Amino acid sequence: MSWETVIGLEIHVQLSTDSKLFSGGSTSFGAEPNTHVDLIDLGLPGVLPVANRGAFHKAIRFGLATNAEINQTSTFDRKNYFYPDLPKGYQITQMALPIVGKGSIKIEVEGQEKIINITRAHLEEDAGKSIHDLFDGETGVDLNRAGTPLLEIVSEPEISNAKEAVAYFKAIRQIVTFLDICDGNMAQGSMRCDVNVSVKKSDAGELGTRAEIKNINSFKFIEKAINFEIDRQIRILEAGDSVIQETRLYDSVKNETRSMRSKEEANDYRYFPCPDLLPVVISDEELIEIKNNLPELPDEKEKRYVKEFDLDSSEAKIIASSKTMANMFEGACAKTDDSKLVANWLVGDISALLNKENIDIDESNLTSENFAALIERISDKTISGKIAKSVLEEIWETGSDVDDIIESKGLVQIQDESLLETIAQKVIDNNPSQVDAFKGGKDKLFGFFVGQVMKETQGKANPQSVNEILKRLLS
């Protein structure tokens, strides 16, 4: 008598083209309201759409990376409904013949691999933004985003639980960032997802009625929303009632989903072929060129890092799994030779800082220049590894130049052997009882002497030199 969950995800990916899907308006994020609006985006009477070929190329990259059918001839349809941020009163989308057909993607959940099939991926234009809480009794409409190209990726209903859903979302995010078709910035809304959830008894043949939870843009919320919804539906069905097919919104504050639209008949979108847009044809030559120029995907990167940079596979996997981290790694390795050191720092200290602040590496002050410079200064022994940690923290805070930091804080490693010897000797002379104890067999006290020398030198002494000198002097 157990319940099975059936989940399908529709992920909207904002393509990183410079201009919009049907106009030359800019797609860059964060502009002043209504400053990136072209006549066409506004839907003024008499304007006409012209399709952006670059958006097609990006969509095709996705298709190729997911082994999908590419429809070299695809068409556009109109989806008709009224909303203030939908200027034309219809959205141009691809219903009948999308650019990308069936494909698949591999996900990993708790060590288990699973293939999730993708039904289709199509191009459509994004709507503008409605701002509800800035103006008393009114809603403000900003059309900057109107017309931005979206790739809507529709999965087969083959996802069985919230964790798989998150893994699928992450896998899609990884692919689109690696393909350079989307910046993957969830906070900016570059990726949003609608989740379709239904439950059924394990022995039931038919699928249950599904509810659609719209517009979730964080991994955490996807998981919570799905789990809440599963419980909600099970409770309804166990009480003998039916689940209503409807659209719901996830409220992250209350951790619940609630019904969104009141009039179901309002959802007749009356799709029909857009008469202003003729079919778009992608030639065989174009397809081959896109294939040949496909950016490297995580699996390929991982293999290459192991081979070319001699990394061990677990490090390679971590670095290769994030586009921004991979870019940082490759950028730094182009500027400094010690790739293994680069890798260690990325996987170690830098990852820790990123996790602590919950940011992506390209939101930090670290650049491949200053990172490489840091590694260089460790390699050439200007600073020790330990000092480098504080230099890293300084870079993290301020983005300052590595050499400037070292100089202003006087962090240059003390390499002068005679100076170190003098200090070491001083420490030994000042601590006779510890010397006796050490010589008497308490080996652990070696650390004490090292510590004292470090204290005297504000941590700047070259650790290896200190070790050698103390070993010699204490023998």
Binding site for another protein (CB under 8 A): 17-19, 23-26, 32-39, 41-56, 73, 78, 80, 82, 84, 87-90, 130-132, 134-135, 137-143, 249, 260, 263, 265-266, 268, 270-273, 275-281
Cβ proximity to another protein: between 114 and 129 the closer is 129
Report the residue number, 259 or 422, with the smaller CB distance to another protein. Answer: 259
Least Å from the CB of residue 287 to another protein: 15
In degrees, to the nearest 5, what angle opens at C-alpha 238 toward C-alphas 232 and 243?
Answer: 55
Q: Find the shortest distance in angstroms from Cβ 14 to another protein.
A: 14
Shortest CB 91 distance to another protein, Å = 11
The least distance separating another protein from the CB of residue 5, rounded to whole angstroms, comes to: 26
Task: Report the candidate in 10, 11, 5 with the shortest Cα–Cα distance to residue 197.
Answer: 5
Shorter beta-carbon distance to another protein: residue 82 or 110: 82
Between residues 57 and 377, which has the closer beta carbon with respect to another protein?
57
Determine the residue type at 74.
Answer: S
- 198 HSE (CA, 13 A, CB side): 18
**Vertex 58 angle, CA 65 and 354, to 5°:** 75
Question: 41 or 360: whose CB is closer to another protein?
Answer: 41
Cβ at position 60, least distance to another protein in Å: 13
User: How far, in Å, are 193, 227, 256, 260, 420 from residue 231 at the CA level?
Assistant: 20, 6, 10, 19, 67
**CA angle 129–130–135, rounded 5-degree value:** 135
Residue with Cβ nearer another protein (44 or 288): 44
Least separation in angstroms between residue 235's CB and another protein is 25
CB of 250 to another protein, least distance (A): 12
Q: Give first-to-last CA distance, the chain, whole Å.
A: 76
Q: Are 201 and 168 in contact (CB under 8 A)?
A: no
> Nearer Cβ to another protein, position 265 or 285?
265
Ramachandran sector of residue 43 (left: φ over 0; alpha: ψ -120 to 50; beta: rest): left
- In contact, 13 and 151? CB cutoff 8 Å: yes
- Rounded-to-integer distance, Cα 302 and Cα 314, Å: 9
Other residues' Cβ atoms within 10 Å of the Cβ of residue 241: 9
Q: Which two tokens stand for residue 131?
A: 């701002």
With respect to another protein, which residue has the nearer C-beta, 43 or 331?
43
Q: Which of 243, 252, 206 is nearest to 225 (CA)?
A: 252
For residue 415, the minimal CB distance to another protein (Å) is 53
Based on C-alpha coordinates, what's the Rg of the chain? 29
